[in-house]
Amino acid sequence: MQVPQPFSPDDLARRRRRSIVMAVVLVVLMVLFFITTLVRLGGNVAERAL
């Protein structure tokens, strides 16, 4: 059986661009969550009962 080739080089290039953007979005979200957590906790981390 011949292996099907459903995607052209253009299709693959578009998929690659989408993957890169998704990776960038995930990194941005990680930074966003980190900073937001710091802002919301504020000084309470240092002042918590140990």
The contacts of residue 18 (CB under 8 Å, 6+ apart) are none
Q: Are 15 and 7 in contact (CB under 8 A)?
A: yes
User: In the set 9, 26, 31, 39, which binds another protein (CB under 8 A)?
Assistant: 39
Check binding of 2 to another protein (CB under 8 A). yes
Check binding of 23 to another protein (CB under 8 A). no
Q: What's the rounded Cα separation, in Å, for the pair 11 and 6?
A: 9
Closer residue to another protein (CB): 4 or 49: 4
Closer residue to another protein (CB): 39 or 50: 39
